[in-house]
Amino acid sequence: MPNSDTRRAWEYHDATKHSPESVRRDFHQLDWGNQPRPYKVYVGLDALPLPGEFLTSNVSALSAIATVEVERGESRVPNRATLTTILQHSAGITKHLRYPGGLMAFRAAACTGALYHIELYVVCGDLADLPAGVYHFGVPDLALRQLRAGDFRGAMIEASGGESTIADAPVTIVCTSTYWRNSWKYQARAYRHCFWDNGTILANVLAMAAAHRLPTQVVAGFADEQINRLIGVDGEREAAMTLVSLGYAPDHRPKTSPPVTPISPETDPLSPSEVDYPAIRKMHADSSLRDADEATGWRASGSPAPQVGSNAEPAVEGPQDSVDGPDAPVPLRRMSAEALPADAIEQVIRRRGSSRRFEPAAIGFDALSAILDHAAHGIPADFLSAPGAALTDPYLIVNAVDGLDSGAYFYQRDRGTLQQLRAGNFRDAAGYLALTQSLAGEAAVNVYFLAALEPILARFGNRGYRAAQLDASITAGRLYLASYALGLGATGLTFFDDDVTRFFSPHAEGKSVMFLIALGVRAQGQSGL
């Protein structure tokens, strides 16, 4: 079975690493005349307009982000207004930004290169004001387009191997990636971005669902071809990445499902021509699950152990740092409840941006503590078997935090402490590690998510590579939101893979970096970002 041959994940991971040498050898140039459109446009499908006014939960952003699970006690079924509000605040357009070439539609969640390659589909039973069916969420016109009529939740349950949260959900969101929309710029490395950009959207989905008291779970274990067939995508150019259960209605589980006959709805071309990157398709095929039994078995492989990441302990024996860091971990400095910002999650999502410049100014240790305390904790996902479990470990370069010495740190999530690995000014190192981007050196803090891939792949197969990327990116998406809730800025950056590991070693020896996000004070006059 390809998923169990983990050499394939290592081959892809190693082949798509950035290094100074690989960057120098890369002669790829952007063909602006062939840039893909950032939307999927169906031909001949009627649009079902969604409400243009959105609900406000009045739940603070930090509270929504910090919610790991919503209790599954009573039935919770979203109506069309609630569903619309969640879709809009997860992948919809929140503002238009002016740039030299015109206006750019800016979305609710961050995306690499602002290329917006993640699509959302809705599979639901009969809701109060929405018939059962399979729908595509149209971002530019805020509408649903029906791909199938009828209750196909049974097909979702089958494809997920009987996952209980899918079975109990009145609605499931399917997230896909259209590879070319991102590989146009990032080539084969775009497969990593499938999960980076899916993860930031999922961070919004989870926070919005929590604010509206809808139980939810990220499901990464499913039979890929069955889901692709259900929503009418080919699995080669566009493919399903994750499922998200939404709501709770155990008394209304579907008894049967209509037959899933092939559909292939016509869409407008994305660009005059497309360039294929076989490494993307190969990695996706090598991490795919063939049927319901394999999905069930895959999920069971993660259930015995609560955690794969080495969150609480160093990766190797011996001292945790090689230089002059203090031995005692530094506990987070928590703000009082009264001091925490109360802005609703919807407000924060609408003002969120991706900072393109930071002031080289300090943020408070209480602000950094609030960000980590609310954002870097458990995720409701089928690849994590216990609350607070994680596949990745946060490492920090602290450039400017009042009340915390500059240096390199390891965040012990289970203890709520920062262990200093190395003291010193590392602004230049931070800029270098982020592909020599000065933005990382200007930021107050850089947070790197590293994963011990060897044990993750041993447990989950190649699909564990998807899970590790998701674990990092969902948490980073929460860091985005928490930063903007506190009036700060954030942006995701790429990195020199092996140099990041070396910088944090020996503590990080054997780990691979999955995601990098920079936090800090936004520079003035950033065109609304």
CA atoms within 13 A on the CB side of 522: 21
SS3 40: coil
pLDDT in tens, 343-358: 999 999 999 887 889 9
Long-range residue pairs from 324-331, CB within 8 A, at least 24 positions apart, any chain? 324/422, 324/423, 325/407, 325/408, 325/419, 325/420, 325/421, 325/422, 325/423, 326/420, 326/423, 329/412, 329/415, 329/417, 329/418, 329/419, 330/404, 330/417, 330/418, 330/419, 330/420, 331/416, 331/417
Q: Evaluate if residue 102 carries a pLDDT over 90.
A: no
Q: Evaluate if residue 525 carries a pLDDT over 70.
A: no
Q: Which residue's entry shows tokens 């370069």?
A: 397
Q: Which residue's entry shows tokens 């209790």?
A: 71
Residue 312 lies in a domain: no
Say if residue 121 is in the same domain as residue 267: yes
Query: What pLDDT shows up at residue 322?
Result: 39
Residue 34 lies in a domain: no
Say if residue 284 is in the same domain as residue 348: no
Q: Evaluate if residue 307 carries a pLDDT over 80.
A: no
Q: Evaluate if residue 106 carries a pLDDT over 70.
A: yes
pLDDT in tens, 116-157: 999 999 999 999 999 999 999 999 999 999 999 999 999 999
96 — pLDDT class (breaks 50, 70, 90): confident
Alpha helices in 436-515 (DSSP H): 438-442, 453-460, 463-485, 497-504
Q: Which domain holds residue 391?
A: 330-522
Query: What pLDDT shows up at residue 526?
Result: 55
Q: How far apart are CA 378 and CA 114, in angstroms?
A: 27
How many C-beta atoms surround the C-beta of residue 454 within 10 A?
Answer: 14
Q: How far apart are CA 242 and CA 220, in angstroms?
A: 5
Say if residue 342 is in the same domain as residue 214: no
> Residue 408: beta bridge partners?
397, 422
| Token code pair at residue 309 | 């990441």
Query: What pLDDT shows up at residue 98?
Result: 77
SS3 197: helix
Q: How far apart are CA 226 and CA 57, in angstroms?
A: 35
Residue 31 lies in a domain: no
Number of structural domains in the chain: 2
pTM: 0.94
Percent of the chain past pLDDT 70, that is, above it, reads 94
Residue 307 lies in a domain: no
pLDDT in tens, 14-58: 999 999 999 999 999 999 999 999 999 999 999 999 998 899 999
Query: What pLDDT shows up at residue 35?
Result: 96
Say if residue 295 is in the same domain as residue 338: no
Say if residue 263 is in the same domain as residue 151: yes
Say if residue 238 is in the same domain as residue 279: yes
- Asked whether the beta carbons of 52 and 142 are under 8 A apart, the reply is yes
304 — pLDDT class (breaks 50, 70, 90): very low
Say if residue 352 is in the same domain as residue 283: no
Say if residue 200 is in the same domain as residue 276: yes
314 — pLDDT class (breaks 50, 70, 90): very low
Most distant CA atoms of the chain, gap in Å:
66
Higher local confidence (pLDDT), 324 or 258:
258
Query: What pLDDT shows up at residue 359?
Result: 93
What mean pLDDT, rounded, does the chain reach? 92
302 — pLDDT class (breaks 50, 70, 90): low
- Asked whether the beta carbons of 76 and 171 are under 8 A apart, the reply is no
Residue 13 lies in a domain: no
309 — pLDDT class (breaks 50, 70, 90): low
Query: What pLDDT shows up at residue 312?
Result: 38
Alpha helices in 168-263 (DSSP H): 180-186, 190-211, 224-231
317 — pLDDT class (breaks 50, 70, 90): very low
Residue closest to 369 by CA, chosen among 59, 62, 58 = 62
Long-range residue pairs from 312-315, CB within 8 A, at least 24 positions apart, any chain? 312/412, 312/414, 312/415, 314/410, 314/506, 314/507, 315/452, 315/506, 315/507, 315/508, 315/509, 315/510, 315/511
pLDDT in tens, 416-428: 999 999 999 999 9
Query: What pLDDT shows up at residue 334?
Result: 86
| Token code pair at residue 221 | 């274990």
Between the CA of residue 266 and those of 41, 59, 62, 133, 172, what are the distances in Å? 9, 41, 42, 18, 24
Q: Evaluate if residue 467 carries a pLDDT over 90.
A: yes
Query: What pLDDT shows up at residue 327?
Result: 65
Say if residue 160 is in the same domain as residue 95: yes
Query: What pLDDT shows up at residue 328?
Result: 84
Query: What pLDDT shows up at residue 347?
Result: 95
| Token code pair at residue 262 | 């092939």
Q: Evaluate if residue 430 carries a pLDDT over 50.
A: yes
pLDDT in tens, 197-221: 999 999 999 999 999 999 999 999 9
pLDDT in tens, 276-296: 999 999 999 999 999 999 999
Query: What pLDDT shows up at residue 303?
Result: 55
528 — pLDDT class (breaks 50, 70, 90): very low
Residue 21 lies in a domain: no
Percent of the chain past pLDDT 90, that is, above it, reads 84
Say if residue 392 is in the same domain as residue 466: yes
pLDDT in tens, 58-71: 999 999 999 988 88
At 494, which CATH number? 3.40.109.10
Q: Evaluate if residue 305 carries a pLDDT over 50.
A: no
- Domain termination residue (choose one: 301, 319, 347): 301
Cis status of the peptide bond prior to 506, with omega within 30 of 0: yes
Residue 529 lies in a domain: no
Residue 240 lies in a domain: yes
Say if residue 412 is in the same domain as residue 512: yes
Say if residue 126 is in the same domain as residue 192: yes
* H/E segment holding residue 81: helix 80-91
Q: How far apart are CA 330 and CA 412, in angstroms?
A: 10
